[in-house]
Copies of this chain bind each other. A is one copy, B any other.
Amino acid sequence: MRALVIEDDPDLRQQVVQFLSADGFAVDSAGDGTQGAYMAEEYPADVAIVDLGLPGTSGLEIIRQLRKAGRKYPVLILTARDGWQSKVEGLETGADDYLVKPFQKEELLARVRALLRRSGGWAQAQLASGPYVVDTGAKTVVADGKPVELTSYEFRVLEYLLTHAGKVISKSELTEHLYTEDEERDSNVIEVFIRRLRSKLDPESHYNPITTIRGAGYRWDLPRA
């Protein structure tokens, strides 16, 4: 998952980036509204965290532009305690949730995860599909009741596919959402991760959860519960 952080206070921005990275996000960040607005339109993302009190283009303006440009991903806004009334404006403008500063790491992560689940159409922390149960919080996967050990990147690929179940995801889309550096690498990492995922999730080829669409990408084909 790829997140965009727009926050002017360098310390706070640094912290938020750190939290998200540690939780397995690919993170882009901007320190002012102008740069933020640019990134919001240029870069792919799955969620944005935007401070409302920004120099340059205001947070509200960013959200407006972002929605106008057709970006559908959820936006979490950060507000100062005394500026809580602006949150209403923010939510009306198109933000999806808000968090009052100061806040705790766990709180931020919980909200972000909740937004992502909602945007994928889920309400709970555990996602079930076919014989699989994926816990995005605990980062565990269970197949037919038996735990499956996945490495960090394997889990991220699975998570992304599952969040977009039924849709074809291209390899470049996966790369963009899993890695922060947006250099298109000449590599087959994704293919390798797909292979490992398949062999770990379905060693005996009973379900074949991931089908490959030649020339287009991959698709998670099991119905979600």
Contacts and interface: CB of A to CB of B under 8 A. Distances in A.
B172 A104 contact: no
A166 interface: yes
Contacts of A22: 170, 172
B167 A42 contact: no
Interface in A65-124: 69-71, 100, 102-107, 110
Contacts of A214: 151-152
A168 interface: yes
Interface residues of A, number: 33
A70 B168 CA distance: 36
B69 A100 contact: yes
Interface string A36-72: 0010011110000000000000000000000001110
B138 A166 contact: yes
A10 to B, nearest CB: 16
A215 interface: yes
A189 interface: no
A148 to B, nearest CB: 13
A40 B19 CA distance: 19
Interface of A: 22, 24, 38, 41-44, 69-71, 100, 102-107, 110, 137-140, 151-152, 166-168, 170, 172, 213-216
Given A44-B105, A152-B214, 19 more contacts: A22-B170, A24-B216, A38-B102, A41-B102, A41-B103, A41-B104, A42-B102, A42-B104, A44-B104, A44-B106, A69-B100, A69-B103, A69-B107, A71-B107, A138-B167, A138-B168, A139-B168, A140-B166, A152-B215
